[in-house]
Structure 1
């Protein structure tokens, strides 16, 4: 299981971004909220949407896997 966080500051397009622990774009501890340990980013995103309905996944630490795993 991996550890996930969500940003607590909205981006300019009014979204909140979830990151895996270790992402180089993970904000400092003052600007993020611990989501928990999840088996997949999909589960972390579901949890984040309970807090911030406009949550999205980080295009660097999570979406990169989506693009490299497509057949």
Structure 2
């Protein structure tokens, strides 16, 4: 079965530790529309975080929706 990609976004507002979190559509912690940047459609969080780092060098996956990419 072919896995469909998901829509990923990065939060324009940094967390307390300076990270800009990457989220997938449907995450309970998704930032408001005006506080996020659309990154694209990806099969996993890793390329989404790579794309987010083009905007914010300190980008990280959300603990809840992108746990494999959450490092801090």
> How would you bin the TM-score normalised by the shorter chain?
0.7 to 0.9
SS of 1:5's partner is: strand
Which residue of 33, 39, 57 maps to 1:35?
39
What value does the CA root-mean-square deviation take over the aligned residues? 0.8
In the alignment, which residue of structure 1 is the partner of 2:58?
54
Deviation at 1:53, TM superposition (A): 0.7
| Cα distance between partner residues in 1 of 2:48 and 2:24 | 9
Which structure 1 residue ranges, 5 or more long, are not aligned?
A: 67-71
TM-score (norm 2): 0.84
Which structure 2 residue ranges, 5 or more long, are not aligned?
A: none
TM-score (norm 1): 0.85
Greater fraction helix: 1
| Cα distance between partner residues in 1 of 2:63 and 2:16 | 16
